[in-house]
A and B are shown apart, each in its own frame.
Chain A
Amino acid sequence: MTLLGWLRQSALAGLGAAVALVLALTAALEGSVSDDLVAQQRQREAVLLTQAIAASLAGADAAAARERLRRWQGGSPAVASVRVVVGRELLASTVADDAAPRALRREEKPLFDLATLLRSAAETNRSEGAVRKKTLQIDEPRGAAPVVTVPLGVDGRFEGIVQARIRPQSGAAVSGGGWGLRLAVLALALVLGAALPLRPGARVDLGRVAALLALALLAIGFQQHRLAQQGASREASEQSMLAVQQRAAVLYAHSGAPALDAAAASPWDTDAYGRPLRHMSVGGRPLVHAEAAKDLPTRFLERSLWLVDALGLAVLLFFTQGFAARTAHALREHASAYAYVAPAMVGMLVLVFFPFFYGIGLSFTDTTLFNEALPLRERWIGLDNFVAILGDFNLVSRGAEGSVWNYQNFYWTLMVTVIWTISNVTVGVSVGFVLALALNTEGLRGKAVYRVLLILPWAIPNYITALVWRGMFHPQFGVINQMLQMAGFKPVAWFDGVVSAFMTGLVTNGWLSFPFMMVVILGALQSIPKDMYEAAEVEGATRWQQLRGITLPLLRPTLVPAVVLSVVWTFNMFNIIFLVSGGEPGGANEILITKAYKIAFEQYQYAYAAAYSTVIFIILLVYGYFQTRVTRATESY
């Protein structure tokens, strides 16, 4: 038996590939989650210590603060340096030769700015009665100890800030290693796979079922083992947090600050918003069960491992059910065909299909310019964007001067877009139709000249057209206002009113789009046989009757696709709105796609804009669906 034949008739390739994939993906996920956990642990320690120091300093004057800081530094090797800023003054500092208290220097302005930022965050939170803004800041310079800044306050009042550099203490709680086990699992999978024969041609047989079971056992067993390891290391890091808390409590008591209830939840062990986690007491006793203390990354890991298993299963089936062999065979058989298609296909996959699905995926997150670097699981918000877009019916806002339209609302923009599309297509079709009828007059001289001149607006790049009309609509020097004044009217501030700004777009786009309609209709008119009109005339039909009875029905097959096309074009006519009125006034004339653009590139809310675009896509899909049904109905008619 050849090697290839043996590969095909055993589960070796399938089980091997599936298990290797599961192991590799598990390792990658685990690695990223462990890194996160280590960073979290480091930050949590630093925050805890800094909060404890800040608590001990509350209400102390400069001398007392200096004394307490000295004790902290003497008692804990973790505290590298501390600075206390109140107002414009550096109240105390542990930096050697720094004669605090003194006024802040010019180059210390960032410290003052940070204090202002935290103060406003704290005040926002207090006035809103909710914790929306982060009241502490963690900076982690690459390769250096984290620097934590927390507010200093008495009874929740903001006094100043305490900034501490904390050296990481507890060892990294990484559950690394396990490479021996990985190798063993892979070897086991290969041996099992080699031992399991597959009957060629069968869909289900003993070998296939056994391979499936083997994969399930190996994958899930291995992952559970790794999760247990991770649980153990989480336990260890929680223990070390308890130790840190105990030490901080001792030092706090020692510093001379007012005593705390040792059984109460630690107010120092907080998240990034300054909210206590309530995992342990001031005295360093655990308050929650380890299971409940599971953090976000761990939960994410548990959930995504199932996805990894599903992928592994897919790979196994791909091999055992013969798809792999068939694919390999097709690739070999049609090698040159695939070689010809590959460059274009790769380009399309990377730059058309991937971006499309990436965009849809993006719409389920809250990605903006500012949080792009965060891991995906922290940005995932499910359908919130769509709820925010479609669920906001706040079309009219009531202010002091009565009710006003809310131009930022999705349904307003949708309404404008629909009106925009309908009015433009109507203008385009009717102008085009009249011109085509005129140009179709028999024996008319100079037809070719008219045609070429009338087609010009179509030939000019539309962004240029848009900018030209923007210039002609110029409120002060534009020719259109000059013409109005010649006729005795008052000049119009075109871009200041909702209706007038809409008209600028309509005129521009009408100018741009009538030639297409004219040319299409003219082509169709010329293909209508002349004898039909002659026969109608003999029968005594009037011109109007000829138009209704002959021209319009015979135009329909041409007109329907042209209108369908032009609806989609107008719906997506970005350049005209964007360049002529820019959606003025106040975004009232924005259509859906210019709105999506502005959300993305002027407000930098990428995910919200992606959701907006997805909604546009769905609207177009629905339109396309109904339009094909309607078109089919008219064709059968």
Chain B
Amino acid sequence: MAAERKRHHLWIHLGLASFTLLSIYPVLWVLALAFSGQQSVGIIDLPADPSFFERLRAVLPWPAHVSVKNFVDVMTEQPFGRWLLNSVLVSLLTTALGVFLACTAAYAFSRFRFPGRDGGMLAFLVSQMFPGTLMLIPLFIIIVKWLGLGNTYWGLVIVYATTAIPFCVWMLKGYFDTIPIDIEESARIDGASPQTIFVRIILPLAKPAIAITALFSFMTAWNEFILASVFLEAESMYTAPVGLRFFVGGFSSQWGFFAAGSVIVSLPVVILFLYLQKYLVSGLTAGSVK
């Protein structure tokens, strides 16, 4: 029995290991290009009529010479540092604005009963169903043509922040609902104003939920590509996603810069994601598994 089980496990290990290798190959490929110190899309340069082993060498994700030249060059010679800074600024501003708007609205939805409350919450929910491209053209006309916020941080920030609001509001409202109202009432009896209660009591208690909201807003802005590529025309205002596409889109093929830039952009996101994945999964499955 035990021997059979062991053999069974061996097969599973074999299958899982080979699939895992296959599935992380693109990641290794990018790493190899990033550390290769050159710009071509091949990991090594092949001769005109390569042999089997030369091809095998070209497929193995290990550069001919390990070098950090691409990382140094992309930050110094290319405007990528500037683009990264743009992305950081846009994402931070989005986070600040988005969290502020979501906290206030969620607090009102959670604690006050007022005419229009249910309608407002429903409106937030419904807005999640509007398709992106239907919004893209009017947003382009409003932000770029009417408001003239085309090549600015604020054009992107206000759009990203409002896109993230509905999710954040629902999420925060759920959390605020779990904070006992007694705390607020005793504070009120002690003479605290609603503003004081909100800032001094509710917000500190809701820190975990606010952190998640902030993270969500940040990621929305950090990974967004379409709106940014439509709004930003000046190269100096590009965000990192638009810039990365600039390296390898169209007729340019600076794969080394692209790979190095991708590693820099993805690293924080991937680390955060892997760190948070257990919460993410429990959140996704909590509602559906009974």
Contact = CB atoms under 8 A, between A and B. Distances in A.
Interface of A, helix, strand, loop or mixed by DSSP: helix
A374 interface: no
A463 B162 contact: no
A344 B169 contact: yes
B135 A352 contact: yes
A486 B56 contact: yes
Nearest to A620: B131
Interface in A320-363: 330, 333-334, 336-338, 340-341, 343-345, 347-348, 350-356, 358-360, 362
Interface stretch (B64-72, B75-83, B178-186, B262-270): B262-270
Interface in B115-158: 115-117, 120, 123-124, 127, 129-142, 145, 158
B24 interface: yes
A613 B245 contact: no
B16 interface: yes
Interface in A180-235: none
A471 B16 CA distance: 26
Nearest to A457: B23
B114 A334 contact: yes
B265 A593 contact: no
A372 B145 CA distance: 10
Interface residues of A, number: 94
A478 B281 CA distance: 35
B238 interface: no
Interface stretch (A15-23, A107-115, A595-603): A595-603
Contacts of A362: 137-138
Contact of B132 (A455, A462, A572, A612): A572
B26 interface: yes
B258 interface: yes
Interface stretch (A163-171, A297-305, A446-454): A446-454
Contacts of B123: 348, 353
A453 B20 contact: yes
B226 A597 contact: yes
A545 B273 CA distance: 37
Question: Which residue of A355, A468, A470, A483 has the most chain B CB atoms within 10 A of its CB atom?
Answer: A355
B24 A524 contact: no
A396 interface: no
B275 to A, nearest CB: 10
Interface in B252-284: 255, 258, 262, 265-266, 269-270, 273-274, 277, 281-282, 284
Contact of A470 (B248, B265, B285): B248
Nearest to A334: B114
Contacts of A478: 41-42
Interface in B160-209: 161-163, 165-166, 169, 194, 198
B107 interface: yes
B225 interface: yes
Contacts, number: 269
B62 interface: no
B281 A519 contact: yes
A636 interface: no
Interface string A48-59: 000000000000
Contacts of B86: none
Given A439-B16, A523-B284, A593-B131, A340 B104 contact: yes
A600 B266 contact: no
B51 to A, nearest CB: 10
Contacts of A350: 142, 162
A461 B269 contact: yes
A460 interface: yes
A356 B136 contact: no
B172 to A, nearest CB: 11
Given A456-B270, A483-B59, A341 B16 contact: no
Question: Which residue of A334, A351, A601 has the most chain B CB atoms within 10 A of its CB atom?
Answer: A351
B170 to A, nearest CB: 12
Contacts of A353: 123, 127
Interface string A476-512: 0111001101100000000000000000000000010
Contacts of B104: 340-341, 343-344
A486 B101 contact: no
Contacts of B133: 574, 593, 596-597, 600, 609, 612-613, 616
A336 B194 CA distance: 8
B27 interface: yes
A469 interface: yes
Contact of A459 (B30, B40, B262, B270): B270
Contacts of A439: 16
A617 B109 contact: no
Contacts of B284: 519-520, 523, 562
Nearest to B145: A372
Given A438-B15, A593-B133, A477 B40 contact: yes
A454 B20 contact: yes
Contact of B107 (A340, A360, A446): A340
Given A348-B127, A523-B289, A464 B59 contact: no
A340 B40 contact: no
A354 B134 CA distance: 12
Contact of A334 (B12, B40, B112, B245): B112
Nearest to A447: B16
26 contacts: A336-B112, A337-B112, A340-B112, A341-B104, A343-B105, A350-B162, A356-B134, A435-B19, A444-B9, A456-B23, A457-B27, A461-B265, A464-B262, A464-B266, A468-B262, A469-B26, A477-B46, A482-B46, A486-B59, A514-B23, A523-B282, A527-B285, A572-B131, A613-B134, A617-B130, A620-B129
Given A340-B107, A456-B27, A467-B258, 5 more contacts: A336-B112, A356-B127, A478-B42, A486-B55, A616-B131
Interface of B: 5, 8-9, 12-13, 15-17, 19-20, 23-24, 26-27, 29-30, 33, 40-43, 46, 52, 55-56, 58-59, 100-102, 104-105, 107-109, 112, 114-117, 120, 123-124, 127, 129-142, 145, 158-159, 161-163, 165-166, 169, 194, 198, 222-223, 225-226, 230, 241, 244-245, 248-249, 255, 258, 262, 265-266, 269-270, 273-274, 277, 281-282, 284-285, 287-290
